[in-house]
Amino acid sequence: MEMEIPVIDFSKLKSEKRGQTMALLHEACQKWGFFMIENHDVDTELMEKVKALTKAHYEHNMKPGFLDSDAAKSLSANEYVPDMDWESTFFICHRPDNTINDIAALSQHLRQSMDKYIDQVIALAEKLSELMCENLGISRAHMMEAFAGSRGPSVGTKVAMYPECPHPELMRGLREHTDAGGIILLLQDDQVPGLEFLKGGEWVKIPPSKNNRIFVNIGDQVEIVSNGVYKSAVHRVMAMKEGNRISVATFYNPGGDAVISPAAELLLPRDIQFKDYLKLYTKTKFGDKAIRFQSLKTSMAATEN
């Protein structure tokens, strides 16, 4: 299914179109769970360098092993394979501990480029978290503080190549799932498609990222913090017969010991006796329901204090 995916132009946040841009971001988070960002201030030359170096790393260090993998061999049975993915991957932890030097085969050039890129992507994720919180009507720092735990957020990157598949009908590139964490920022292929997101019961084909756009999707923890206002979306990667698709997905997640719950300001009034609600209702029946609920939350807070 072809749809016009929301595109957030970050340069407009500094213009008279800020309100319109914030509204578009809110709608994308609420109704889609994914969107693209352009003019994001992440160095575009660095983005291209990370992609090129990652592709070279796959060709020299990962491709031979993948061709000899169980996934590759399983296609010979000529039956659908439900429990494997047609992908070749490695994972780098960046925060709170950096494990990039533990991956022996990575070139020094790729390590340095990736570290510089990640610093900029983390800044972008923090900016996004502030904008989301502003749209939700809670403290701009709420999500960053909630994700911090005792040692700061957990940030890692899944580097994946989805090689050409001789029988794409027999296996997914990556099976259907939502992401467990917070904000996911994807540096993806600019030529080869394959990524799909579920919206309204239909699979939306995500086009390759042109003009150095960064693709963003929301994870389960943002849905929790937002009390379900923002949604994590089910997605998958289709295996493709032509072209190797690169995916560099950075996860801005809560720290391992972070305790995640809905922001208190977004919760409906709770533990109220119905008779007490009716007293307020009879006085405010023809008024705004939101104001009524806020009045109840305020009175509850006063009672608890």
* pLDDT for the residue 270: 78
DSSP per position, the chain: ------EEEGGGGGSTTHHHHHHHHHHIIIIISEEEEES--S-HHHHHHHHHHHHHHIIIIIHHHHHTSHHHHHGGG-S--SS--S-EEEEEEEESS--GGG-TTS-HHHHHHHHHHHHHHHHHHHHHHHHHHHHHTS-TTHHHHHHHTTT--EEEEEEEEE---S-GGG-EEEEEE--SSSEEEEEE-SS---EEEEETTEEEEPPP--TT-EEEEE-HHHHHHTTTSS----EEEE--SSSPEEEEEEEEE--TT------GGGSPP-S--HHHHHHHHHHHTTS-HHHHHHHHHHHHHHHH-
* pLDDT for the residue 110: 97
pLDDT by position in tens, the chain (length 305)? 557 899 999 999 999 999 999 999 999 999 999 999 999 999 999 999 999 999 999 999 999 899 889 998 998 888 999 999 999 999 999 999 999 999 989 999 999 999 999 999 999 999 999 999 999 999 999 999 999 999 999 999 999 999 999 999 999 999 999 999 999 999 999 999 999 999 999 999 999 998 899 999 999 999 999 999 999 999 999 999 999 999 999 999 999 999 999 998 898 887 888 888 898 888 888 888 878 887 887 777 666 65
* pLDDT for the residue 276: 85
Whole-prediction pTM: 0.92
* pLDDT for the residue 1: 59
* pLDDT for the residue 53: 97
